Amino acid sequence: MKKTTAYFKKAKEEGKKLSMLTAYDYSTAKLEDAAGIDGILIGDSLGNVIMGLEDTISVTMEDMIHHSAAVARGAKNTLIVCDMPFMSYQVSPQDALVNAGRLMKEGRANAVKLEGGQEVAQTIRTIVDAGIPVMAHLGLTPQSINAFGGYKVQGKSEAAAQKLLDDARAVEKAGAFALVLECVPATLAAKITQALSIPTIGIGAGAGCDGQILVYQDMLGMFSDYTPKFVQRYANIGAIMTEAFEAYISDVQSGSFPKPEQSYKMDDSVIDKLY
Ligand code: KIV
C-alpha cells in the first residue's frame, strides 16, 4: 500500500521509526521502493552528487522536476518528497505556491520540502492550505551555506538551541507534516522531537529522532568528494563499480567481450550473397 503523510503521522503516534533515503532516478527509486523504504526525498543534494556542483545554490526547478518525475515512475509504494530549490520559495508565499504546485503536477511528488523556520512559516501555511504537504528542514540548511560560512553543527549555544526549538514549533504550527533536522546535537534533536507532534527525520541528529534520512550515494560508498561524520556506510558499491568498469575495459581491449552468446545471429547464406 502507498505510504502517505498519514502513515508518517501514525508512525510518530505509535513510536515506529521512519526510514528515508534520497533518490534521483527511476532505477534507484525502484530498488529503494522494493526494499520497503518509507519515504524518498529528491533532495537538492542532487546538485552535489548528481551534477558535481560544490553546493545546492545553482539547482533549478527544472532540475528538480526532471529527477522527481523519474523517481515517481519508479517508486509506487513510498512517500515521495521533492526539495524546493534555492530561490523557488524565498521571494513570496505566492511564488512558493506556484513552484510547489509544479513539483506536484510535473514532478509527481507527494509533498515538498523547504528550508527554514519562523521566516518561512507563512510560506508553509500558504502551500499547506492549497493541499500540498510540506516537510520542513532546520539545523544545517545547505541553501544558507553562504550565511552560515561553512557546513557546521547547528544549535550548540543556548540562544541557537532555543531558536531551533522555537523554529521547530513554528513550522509545526504552520502545518508542516514532518521536520528534517540536519547536523544538530543529539540531545537537542531529542528535545525537539519530544516537543513536537509531527515526526522529526534526522541526518546527523542522533538516534532520538522519529526517523532517519541519508543521501544514498553516501551510505553506498558511491560519493568520495567528502563524507560527513554522520554517514554510516552499508556497502562499498563505488569500489564494486570501479572494479566492474575496469573488468569491462579490459575485456573490450582484449576482445573477450562480447562473446558469441551476447551477439545476434543470422543465416550465413545471406552474408555469403553480399558483395
Ligand atoms: O538535499 C538533501 O538531500 C537533503 C537531505 C540531506 C535531508 O536535504
Residue of 135, 212, 215 best suited for mutating to test ligand 1, as the one with most atoms within 8 Å of CB: 215
The answer to whether residues 199 and 178 touch, using CB atoms and an 8 Å cutoff, is: yes
Write down the pLDDT at residue 223: 95
Write down the pLDDT at residue 150: 87
Q: Point out the ligand 1 atom lying closest to the alpha carbon of residue 115.
A: 8
Residue of 41, 50, 144 best suited for mutating to test ligand 1, as the one with most atoms within 8 Å of CB: 41
246 is catalytic: no
Residue 171 alpha carbon to ligand 1 centre in Å: 18
Write down the pLDDT at residue 269: 98
Beta bridge partners of 115: 137
Distances, alpha carbon 211 to alpha carbons 165, 214, 259, in Å: 18, 11, 48
Query: What's the helix, strand, coil split of the chain in %, to 5?
Result: 45, 15, 40
Residue 43 alpha carbon to ligand 1 centre in Å: 5
The answer to whether residues 60 and 51 touch, using CB atoms and an 8 Å cutoff, is: no
**Residue 23 — left, alpha, or beta (φ > 0 → left; ψ -120 to 50 → alpha)?**
beta
What is the pTM assigned to this prediction?
Answer: 0.97
Q: Point out the ligand 1 atom lying closest to the alpha carbon of residue 201.
A: 7
| Range 47-72 burial, b when 16+ CB lie within 10 A, else e | bbbbeebebbbebebebbbbbbbbbb
Residue 253 alpha carbon to ligand 1 centre in Å: 40
Beta bridge partners of 19: 212
pLDDT below 50 — which residues of the chain? none
